[in-house]
Structure 1
Amino acid sequence: MTADSWKDDAQRDLVRNVGERAALFVRGEGAALWDAEGRRYLDFLAGIAVNSIGHAHPTFVEAVSRQAATLAHVSNFFATPSQLELAARLKRLAGTGPDGRVYFGNSGAEANEAAFKLARLHGGADRPRILAFKDAFHGRTMGTLALTGKPYMQEPFLPMVPGVEFIDSTVEALEQAMDDRVAALFVEPIKGEAGVVELPEGFLRAAREITARHGALLIVDEIQTGAGRTGAWFAFQHAGITPDAITVAKGIGGGFPIGALITFGAASELFYPGTHGSTFGGNALGTAVASAVLGEIESADLVANAAVRGQQIREAVAAIGSPLVDGCRGQGLLIGIALRHPVAGAVVAAAQEHGLIVNAANDSTVRLAPPLTIGDVEIDEFADLFARALSTVEQALLLDVPTTPEEASA
């Protein structure tokens, strides 16, 4: 495979459900990636908030090797020690108390599918309505796409699963939409795919009170915000509330595919045998790796590191003083850098040219989600590389280079 032939292979052999792959990476270590030509890149995306302890971390490698050599899969007719250990750990970190329960799947979409079913079981015939946010993202399966408030994503696959209504993410909109026929409200604490957009101050506390008053479930999608990324184990904990369920994935596995639905209180009794399942969900290999990853995050105090380093990155971005930058959004190490022009694609491309991996959450937002392990050295390198990328795009703008979203990403 040559430096160029892999692009032809990808174009020929892979389903065209995403755009052209930007690079062929062959190795990673910590917050660094290497392509097939041996060039090093600083990874400040971490697989979109997945590689929470970085690439090839010894804890991850040891857990995969040890469990793969012991027991990988036995089906859900049986239990395994790693499955039970991870369930107990997730309950403790989420603060469910003894009444909590955990359902394991293989991805965030599967976790949200389980949550969708939880809402239906709670609602029955008397509560056919489910509320979700405009511009929210919960997945690409048919069920989770029905929860995703992005019409352009839904349009090719209409009709959607019925019963979902989309509202603005404001307390006023929730008050107006809520009644006793609502089964559940689905919430992203930070709308990552919308540009790392935070909820209004006090929204989660108000949503907890409103949903409880009407007997609806509050289901919090923590797939991108969980596993310590925002400076708390889960973003809902910043608000000091107790939801009815949360969904988690991405960072809990540190690169191994796994997701989970975690329930609280009475919601834990809604599922019964036969209502849901997954062949690979909760297998011994995945749960052992996830438990080791979460154990490393806990023992290395990476949740606190996320809070400290997130603020450090915001200060570093501000210190660049770029006329393109209009501030930062998000919490901890989930950061959206707002741009004054719709050139995020151009900034991302320029960053890669300079050896930095970030991504465009939308046309005007560059998203950062680096490993929770980053420190001063990585942040200093990021600031230098990102400043160079911004300068490249600024020069293009001054030269009147076309900067529509299509042209900027071409």
Structure 2
Amino acid sequence: MNILVLGGGGREHAIVWALAKSPRTDTLFVAPGNGGTASIAQNVADLDAENGQAVVAFAKEHDVELVVIGPEAPLVAGVADVVREAGIAVFGPSAQGAQLEGSKTFSKQFMDRHGIPTARYASFTELEPALAYVRELGAPIVVKADGLAAGKGVIVADELEDAEDAVRSCFDGAFGAAGSTVLVEECLTGPECSLLAFVSGGVAHCMTTAQDHKRAFDGDLGPNTGGMGVYSPVPTVTPDELAAMREIMETAAAATANEFDLDYRGVLYGGFMLTPEGPKVLEFNARFGDPETQVVLPRLESDLVDIMMAVAEGRPDDINLRWSEQWAVCVVLASEGYPGSYEKGKVILGIDEAEQIEGVTVFHAGTSRNFDDELVTSGGRVLNVVALGDSFEEARECAYDAVDLINFEGKQYRTDIGAKAIEGRKEF
């Protein structure tokens, strides 16, 4: 079958890579794609991924039988609804379901209704009440823009003054319309863990655990980013914690079928904090995580096309997940200055050599081709260097060996991805 994937980051490269392995796949299109997806799919640079009618028109013209929506923005914009109404199978929830990510207040209220453990919070549309609540809770504290803010709308403030400044910034328009409503919540403590699930018909088929590294610099220092590295599975998660997270994901999935006009069909991402009281939900996302996808899908042994079609067609009983016992470690190579301002157009060398290492795959996140057909940087996060190994240590060593072979001016990365997992929980 012909398949269209919407998106152009490392997550979408990983999805396209996994779909390409299926014998059911004929032609793969990806809009807009990047310098890496071009080698295994047809990039479609001029298709507006947030315009449902344009997506439907393209799908019909090219006999596309499955549309896979990668990023959150098209989901919140209702692209899945338009495609589904046109009779085309689509992997991704409706706009209503996507509000679990599109509005943090909506998501928190959903958790409240269904007894899902999360941080204490309050939501505000005016400055002074928000500041009063910040002072009531005290620091450390978390301030969130309610809407989509490209991963930049969450501020963890260690000092009261910083929290107050964050609230003011939201209402002053730092995050556009996303900050017109502000969520203030208590700061939970403990290691973080992601657990994603394929959801259809109110049933959650949980994937394998993963742990992201959000801070820009070694030692979990510096500003929050979209993710600087990740590994799977997470060795420090206890069986009780895993069981609790699975139960939460199953509760949430069942609730979507009861609450929403159309049952949720796609990925539900659970971001957890493993607190001393047990796992609590930091956030729900309505799509595959980035960069979690880059370590989860390489460990998936089931046919991704089969899974996505079963999800899209509401056949949860036909989903069968099989996982490799190998470990996966991903190190993100970023542009100098990320997550702040950075230059583009830096020539990238060494990827072919890196992929000669057994078990290594390099997923492109922010790359393109220049007029001389050279691969160049075009984003903040540039490459995801992924390695599989029979042990955590082997996968990590291979990933960093591959990192050393890749070069571009200003290459920035963390040297401690996965280090704490090796040291053990006491070091978190």
TM-score above 0.5, yes or no: no
Looking at secondary structure, tell me which structure has more helix per residue.
1
* Structure with the higher strand share, 1 or 2: 2
Q: Which has the higher contact order (CA 8 A, sep 6+)?
A: 1
TM (norm. structure 2) is 0.30
TM score, norm. by length of structure 1: 0.31
